[in-house]
Structure 1
Amino acid sequence: MIELRHLGPGDVDWLVERHAQDYARDEGFDASFGRLVREILEAFEADHDPARERAFIAWEDGQRLGSVFCVADGAPDTAKLRLFLLVPEARGKGLGKRLLAACTGFARDVGYRRMVLWTHESHRAACALYAATGWELVRSEATVSFGIPVVEQSWELDLSPCQ
């Protein structure tokens, strides 16, 4: 059975390693990506508000399978989705949907009215999941990041209660 846990011992190093390894292999990202992931995680550990920010780490049989984070994004009503990751062997089993639902559900439950995220067009499965769950693509821009040409995307989700 897959369990969703908060950030615990060893998770930061695992997340940095998996992000760096998977994105270097799959996308060709350079080492600056792993450094960015570490900075994000260290800031989260040092300064997150547990009442409004949360990590979701998926575990099964003693193995980590993925993650997603809900963090504040400056404005009191806006959350940011970060560090959405599934290891390759966990893909195609509905875990991405479950992680995304847990993250957006948490954001809604603690009072955020909007959620944003930043990703790359090449993450086709994740982008398809965002589109299928009500996220709106609000910006798409070609640039160079992590040592390669990419198309960065910004997405938003309205978390307001249905009228």
Structure 2
Amino acid sequence: MSEISFRRFVPTDAQWVVARHADLYARDEGFDDTFGAVVGEIIADFCRSHDPLCEQGWIAETQGQRIGCIFCVRHTDTIAKLRLFLLTPEARGRGVGKQLLQRCMAYAKTAGYSEMTLWTHESHRAACALYAAFGWQLVDSRPVHSFGVDLVEQTWKVLL
């Protein structure tokens, strides 16, 4: 893979974020169309009302092609929420996720948050291993039926 660059999310990235989430989760996890709709709502809300002083998104690129994204949003005044962390298949296993996660966590700390939280699924083993390597702790896990499939939802937290 060629050199990887990271830049701030801009609204023209929104369609890519939604489409790649919908496509990859349908292909890899069997998610139905409701997942893309949820991602669309999250990204539309971010574009409409995020506070750039304490909320930010990043896009990873190589050769002008988007290959990943991650977002830091306010959960409470002291807790940030990691959202929409995604790597395309060609970006996986190359350190891109590590760099995005480092960037997001450093930003959250600089923005004044003392903790971060995230929601994911047990099936995302590589991401969960990355969270654990960065000091995140699994604080809740429960079986659910979402997006047309049976899943185990997880909540993770980390102190900054």
TM-score, normalisation: structure 2 = 0.97
For 1:134-153, what aligned pairs fall within 5 Å after superposition?
134-153=135-154
**Whole-Å Cα distance in 1 between the matches of residues 26 and 67 of structure 2?**
18
2:53 alignment partner in structure 1: 51
Look up the SS of the partner of 2:77 in the other structure.
strand
Provide the aligned C-alpha RMSD in A: 0.7
2:68 alignment partner in structure 1: 66
**Whole-Å Cα distance in 2 between the matches of residues 7 and 130 of structure 1?**
22
Name stretches of at least 5 consecutive residues in structure 1 with no aligned partner: none
**Whole-Å Cα distance in 2 between the matches of residues 52 and 41 of structure 1?**
16
| 1:32 partnered with 2:62 | no
1:10 alignment partner in structure 2: 12
Measured against aligned partners, the alpha-carbon deviations of 1:93-136 in whole angstroms (never above 9, x if no partner) come to: 10100000000000001110000000000000000000111000
**Native 8 Å contact 2:11 2:47 kept in 1:** no
User: Cα distance, 1:59 vs. partner?
Assistant: 1.1
Counterpart residue identity of residue 23, structure 2: Q
1:105 alignment partner in structure 2: 106
1:42 alignment partner in structure 2: 44
**Whole-Å Cα distance in 2 between the matches of residues 86 and 19 of structure 1?**
9
User: Cα distance, 1:10 vs. partner?
Assistant: 3.1
Counterpart residue identity of residue 45, structure 1: C
**Native 8 Å contact 2:139 2:157 kept in 1:** yes
Percent identity between the two aligned chains: 56
User: Cα distance, 1:2 vs. partner?
Assistant: 1.5
What is the total number of aligned residue pairs between the two structures?
Answer: 158
Look up the SS of the partner of 2:19 in the other structure.
helix
Look up the SS of the partner of 1:76 in the other structure.
coil
Measured against aligned partners, the alpha-carbon deviations of 1:5-61 in whole angstroms (never above 9, x if no partner) come to: 112253111111100000000000000000000100000000000010000100111
2:92 alignment partner in structure 1: 91
Name stretches of at least 5 consecutive residues in structure 2 with no aligned partner: none
**Whole-Å Cα distance in 2 between the matches of residues 31 and 9 of structure 1?**
22
For 1:113-124, what aligned pairs fall within 5 Å after superposition?
113-124=114-125
Measured against aligned partners, the alpha-carbon deviations of 1:53-95 in whole angstroms (never above 9, x if no partner) come to: 000100111100100000000x200000000000000111101
Q: Which consecutive segments of 4 or more residues in structure 1 shift more than 6 A?
A: none
